[in-house]
Amino acid sequence: MRGVLLAAAAYNVAWGASCVLLPGWLFAVLGIAPPNYPSLWQCIGMIVGVYGIGYAAAARDPYRHWPIVLVGLLGKVFGPIGFLQAAGSGELPWAMGWTILANDLVWWLPFAAILRGAWRAAGGRA
């Protein structure tokens, strides 16, 4: 659990920093038009980076800090749902979907396992 959360922390801080410091890089790599307001993308990067700090804090005691993991998992579930809606309506290009794999989907099972372990440690069943 500690390793998963530290990996998530490092990943989120690196991703967030890249969005803040180089807001156009991802769009250039994917060959799509950058947003008209790069500061919005930078703000998203800041939020992602702050999640990373939370994951680092939760890594010290994952069961005690399960709410941080829960908030992270919720973001990693709702983010792809929002992406599907935006891409389906043509608001975002489908090429942005590649970001969902590393930013969200790979963390679903490990975060869910941490939450299940915390629930069981608190006296839950299953």
**In the prediction, which pLDDT does 16 show?**
97
Tell me the C-alpha distance between 32 and 26, whole Å. 9
pLDDT at 60 exceeding the cut of 90: yes
pLDDT digits (tens, 9 = 90+) for 101-124: 999 999 999 999 999 999 999 998
**In the prediction, which pLDDT does 126 show?**
57
The pTM of this model reads 0.90
* Cα–Cα separations (whole angstroms), residue 91 to 25, 38, 44, 87: 20, 16, 17, 6
pLDDT digits (tens, 9 = 90+) for 61-78: 999 999 999 999 999 999
The radius of gyration of the chain from alpha carbons, rounded to an integer in Å, stands at 16
